[in-house]
Amino acid sequence: MADLKVNIANVEFANPLIGASGTVGFGHEYAEFYPLSTLGGISCKGITLKARPGNPPPRIAETPSGMLNAVGLQNPGVEHFVQEDLPWLKQQGTVVIANIAGSTPEDYCEMAERLSDTDVDMIELNISCPNVKQGGVQFGVTCEGVESITSQVRRHCRKPLMVKLSPNVADIAENAAAAEAAGADAVSLINTLTGMRINIQTHRPILHNNTGGLSGPAVFPVAVRMVWQTAQRVKIPVVGLGGITRWQDAVEMMLAGAAAFQVGTAFFTDPYAPVKILNGLKQYLDENKITSVTELTGKVEPW
């Protein structure tokens, strides 16, 4: 049987499947379906320095082959996470990634400092959330912004640091290079694409926030392209995400250059999606006599 272990920034994952931030919460709900050790890791719901109620509803909208969300980083705050959620998560036998978001560089730095004193395995720097009025995405749209916020957080972060990048930019590979230059240990991409739906009866946007983040199968080809471009540009590991719903998608993402991958929206339509993806991935590796999943990374052969 093929070896599924991967290593990202000196953190060992039992397999390359990570639950994407914002879709698996803090893991409690999915632990009712299967042991969380089934997953290679969990990137927890994005946390902020203080608790946030999120955006007012409606904040979810269906769209062909995907969904729009404008939840707005609803979360209980970093101290609640450290005191209440993290101790339970650390007993689940999976890698725990703390996803952090903020309105100011000081917010990010304070959280990185606080979380560096805990048992989280890695910190994912969310500078790409399009669903809040301030913070997050404002740092992630230019190379200068990415490099500045990453370098500031790096000085306070004693855990492996992964920077989550926005696709709503001119050149995501250049932004990844900026994160690498500023000390990032890995990058994850893509976060959601900004989208909008309108109610044709009321003539109002369906989402109270007007716009939201598009995720699901609709974004998958964009994610594959951006991961491929980024993997050619940087030397640090690339974690690929965006629309992965089947094991075939996972293989494709790794061939494009991903060292590991995150599954998000698929959790909503099928809680067992990650189990099916991993089973399919194992079978594919065995049928093709591939001894380690790491052999897939970056093996695409362009024309």
Q: What is the pLDDT of residues 262-299, one digit of tens each?
A: 999 999 999 999 999 999 999 999 999 999 999 999 99
**How far is residue 294 from each of residues 8, 225, 274, measured CA to CA in Å?**
11, 20, 18
Residue 86 has what pLDDT? 98
Total Cβ atoms within 10 A of residue 53: 9
What residues of the chain score a pLDDT lower than 70?
129-137
Residue 131 has what pLDDT? 54
Residue 139 has what pLDDT? 79
Residue 137 has what pLDDT? 59
63 CB burial (10 A radius; 0-12, 13-18, 19+): middle
Vertex 87 angle, CA 85 and 92, to 5°:
95
Active site residues: 129
Residue 128 has what pLDDT? 73
Residue 140 has what pLDDT? 85
Give the phi and the psi of residue 60 in degrees, each rounded to 5.
-130, 135
What structural domains and CATH numbers belong to the chain? Answer: 6-53+73-198+216-296 (3.20.20.70)
